[in-house]
Structure 1
Amino acid sequence: MVNRLFMLMVAAGLPLSVVGSLMHWSPVLMFVIYCLTIVALAGYMGRATESLAIVAGPRIGGLLNATFGNAVELIISIFALKAGLVGVVLASLTGSVLGNLLLVAGLSFFVGGLKHKRQEFNIYDARHNSGLLVFAVLVAFVIPEVFAMEMNEQRTFSLSIGISIILIGLYMAALFFRLVTHRGVYQHKTDAVDEHEEPEWSKKTATIVLLLATVAVAYVSENLVHTFEVIGEEFGWSELFIGVIIVAIVGNAAEHASAIVMAYKNKMNIAVEIAVGSTLQIAMFIAPVLVLISLLFPVSMPLVFTLPELVAMGTAVLLMVAISNDGETNWFEGATLLAAYVIMGIGFYLL
């Protein structure tokens, strides 16, 4: 039923996106069409990566899902940078961290916990990711903010470039550590894969679907960015709220759906890898890459967030570390994460 709905949304959404942009329909109407189309395309990306996850295993599958899920947000952010909307991009990065750690993980734990009283995942991966989360958010994001108080704009951006290069290097080292030098060293009983499960699509078909969906998302995203200013004026939304809530939810729709489905099927290793792995990719790869890409545009983007953004991200990281470090979860822990997300969402809306 859900797959048919996504198919219908894509079949109707793509033509309407093209016709509406050419005929200059109402920006509010086009904003809705663009968002629904991206969500539907993200659903296809989620199904394709789920098929690849069955073939490749939970770690690589989760990494693929996070990567292609974040590709949507990366594309939206690049076009937003091109339009000079630096505040929206930084806010969307904040929203991705909050969305993945609190909304995606929270819904996954909650939905999975309703069906399974107690769910386990790889405790070694959880502890490894906890250290990286603390480093990426509480060190790499907070340091530029602190030093920027005593620096001019040029020196602040130079510091951002240096930190970005270090973050990208450490992220690549983390992948090499987990997938090459220490692959299989920290095994857990929940790493077992159901050998009888068949992927929905073949590896070739899933790859083609991913590529086509990514191209379509790029087209729709470019048009979506041009509606932000009108939408903000129409509904009284700030750039911060649009970035933290709207762009983050739309951009991460694929991960939201995939992680929840995996948790419902009691595949918690993949669900956690999608939520936490995606956060690490946002903080240690997507954000620094956007800083470097901004060099190509008239307005550069320093890696400096506002105080509310930093406090919200730091709180989300600490809460996730406290909940996930025991390697098991339940519906109540999911509800706790969701409650934190709603509280922060209200705060950003009222700012």
Structure 2
Amino acid sequence: MRNLEETSTGALPRSAVGTILTEARRTPLFVLIVFVPVVILLEQISPEAHTWLFLLSIVAIVPLAAMLSRATESVAAKTGDAVGGLLNATLGNLTELVISLAALQAGQYLLVKASIAGAIVTNTLFMLGGAFLVGGLKHHLQEFNRVNARFQASLLFLATIAILVPSLVSEADQTPTGAFSQQLSLGLAVLLIAVYALGMLFSLRTHRELFASVAHGEDAETSWPLSVGVAVLIVVTLLVAMVSEIFVGSVQVAAQHLGMTPAFVGFIVVALVGGAAEMTSAFSAARANRLDLSVGIALGSAAQIALFVAPVLVLLSYFIGPEPMSLQFWPGAVAMMLIATMAATLLSNGGHAAWYAGVMALAVYAIFGFTLFILPPGAGQ
């Protein structure tokens, strides 16, 4: 783990290091970055201190998320909000992918599925709703490209249907799980990856004019050069993945000590911590009246998890997991994903946003979170 950190830091250009130091002096929040080496060192010295590792990991991710947000704004200023949102969603989802791969290798398929479902619901409701609220409190009415928003929501709805089918068929037709569920999930995984690839071709190449930003909003303050922004994005994402791996290793034991149920941990806590970097970027962009970037990050990240990350995990389970993983989720998770997708479709249909739209989305998320928090420990499995 130390070698990875040294390699990442060594690969960072001097100009990028100077940029990070300048931003650290300007933004007091970046002082918390000292907790990154602290949590890595603590994990080496005392790997059994799960509660401390859990709490320090959360603190360490905060400045990394802020740095990732700043770099994303600079890259988006050079490439446009559509590409910037896709880039941020892709790099941000590496954290969820690292978390899921660690759980997949350990055979903790319930945690994998909980983190996938939780990430979809959190990005769709909490991140999008938070962006509407934060942006709406500063700007009376905000506009965004509803074609892009509806496109992402449609992709998300398609993926939710693909996740719903294995569970629905198994329950309704009483088909034997196991071989049938694995075969169906394998075919659906290949189909979803193909649909996602064609969707990227459609939005970024053949019909890219439909996805242009409605308004560019306020320019990022002292925008970084593109090379510096990309370098910072890559290195900080690696550090976020490292800290997230420590977080996952300690979260279950720490959750028991802190009185949190496994369902709440997988669906809410892991999703919030894993998406901290993307949320910071989305909220910051909304405050700068760049709601297209916020919507692109929130819905694009959710669609990418459903259409790409989840199917890839199904394929990888054949190679690194103790047994193949299916796309069959428990009914409560499927219902929450479906409701979140419908809410995103309704919220993005008009191309306008105000702060109260964010309140409604956050209220739905709070309902889900409270339900999972008081859920009995053995439920939802």
Secondary structure at the residue paired with 1:200?
coil
- Any idea what the Cα deviations from partners look like across 1:132-187, whole Å, max 9, x if unmatched? 222111x1110011223413312211211111111111001001001111111x26
Question: What is the identity, as a one-letter code, of the residue corresponding to 2:372?
Answer: F
List aligned pairs for 1:70-219, cutoff 5 A: 70-137=93-160, 139-149=161-171, 150-184=175-209, 186=210, 190-193=213-216, 200-219=223-242
2:336 and 2:288 map into 1 onto residues whose CA distance is 31
Secondary structure at the residue paired with 2:263?
helix
2:185 and 2:367 map into 1 onto residues whose CA distance is 30
List aligned pairs for 1:12-27, cutoff 5 A: 12-24=35-47, 26-27=49-50
2:178 and 2:29 map into 1 onto residues whose CA distance is 45
Which of 365, 369, 376 in structure 2 is aligned with 1:341? 365
The number of equivalent residue pairs is: 348
- Any idea what the Cα deviations from partners look like across 1:302-334, whole Å, max 9, x if unmatched? 111111111111111111211210111111111
User: Counterpart of 1:328?
Assistant: 352
- Any idea what the Cα deviations from partners look like across 1:269-311, whole Å, max 9, x if unmatched? 1111111111111110111111112222214321111111111
2:239 and 2:204 map into 1 onto residues whose CA distance is 30
How much has 1:124 moved relative to structure 2? Answer: 1.6
Question: What is the identity, as a one-letter code, of the residue corresponding to 1:169?
Answer: A
The alignment yields a C-alpha RMSD, in angstroms, of 2.0
- Structure 1 gaps of 5+ residues are none
Which of 279, 300, 309 in structure 1 is aligned with 2:324? 300
| 2:276 corresponds to 1:253 | yes
User: Counterpart of 1:314?
Assistant: 338
CA contact (8 A) 1:55 1:199 kept: no
User: Counterpart of 1:242?
Assistant: 265
1:226 and 1:187 map into 2 onto residues whose CA distance is 40
How much has 1:20 moved relative to structure 2? Answer: 3.8
How much has 1:37 moved relative to structure 2? Answer: 1.6
User: Does the C-alpha gap of structure 1 residues 53 and 162 become closer, same or farther in structure 2, counting only changes over 3 Å?
Assistant: same
User: Counterpart of 2:80?
Assistant: 57
Question: What is the identity, as a one-letter code, of the residue corresponding to 1:108?
Answer: A
- Any idea what the Cα deviations from partners look like across 1:216-271, whole Å, max 9, x if unmatched? 23332332222133123323433321111110000000111111111111111111
CA contact (8 A) 2:43 2:246 kept: no
Secondary structure at the residue paired with 2:358?
helix
Question: What is the identity, as a one-letter code, of the residue corresponding to 2:255?
Answer: G
CA contact (8 A) 2:203 2:211 kept: no
2:286 and 2:346 map into 1 onto residues whose CA distance is 19
- Structure 2 gaps of 5+ residues are 1-22, 376-381
2:219 and 2:302 map into 1 onto residues whose CA distance is 31
How much has 1:23 moved relative to structure 2? Answer: 3.0
User: Does the C-alpha gap of structure 1 residues 299 and 18 become closer, same or farther in structure 2, counting only changes over 3 Å?
Assistant: farther
2:218 and 2:135 map into 1 onto residues whose CA distance is 21
List aligned pairs for 1:220-299, cutoff 5 A: 220-295=243-318, 296-299=320-323
User: Does the C-alpha gap of structure 1 residues 12 and 187 become closer, same or farther in structure 2, counting only changes over 3 Å?
Assistant: closer
1:330 and 1:313 map into 2 onto residues whose CA distance is 24
2:48 and 2:327 map into 1 onto residues whose CA distance is 36
1:24 and 1:183 map into 2 onto residues whose CA distance is 48
User: Does the C-alpha gap of structure 1 residues 225 and 198 become closer, same or farther in structure 2, counting only changes over 3 Å?
Assistant: closer
How much has 1:192 moved relative to structure 2? Answer: 4.4
CA contact (8 A) 1:79 1:221 kept: no
User: Does the C-alpha gap of structure 1 residues 157 and 5 become closer, same or farther in structure 2, counting only changes over 3 Å?
Assistant: farther
| 2:61 corresponds to 1:41 | no
User: Does the C-alpha gap of structure 1 residues 330 and 88 become closer, same or farther in structure 2, counting only changes over 3 Å?
Assistant: same
How much has 1:196 moved relative to structure 2? Answer: 6.4
Q: TM-score under structure 1 normalisation?
A: 0.93
CA contact (8 A) 1:232 1:238 kept: yes
Question: What is the identity, as a one-letter code, of the residue corresponding to 2:93?
Answer: N
User: Does the C-alpha gap of structure 1 residues 15 and 231 become closer, same or farther in structure 2, counting only changes over 3 Å?
Assistant: closer
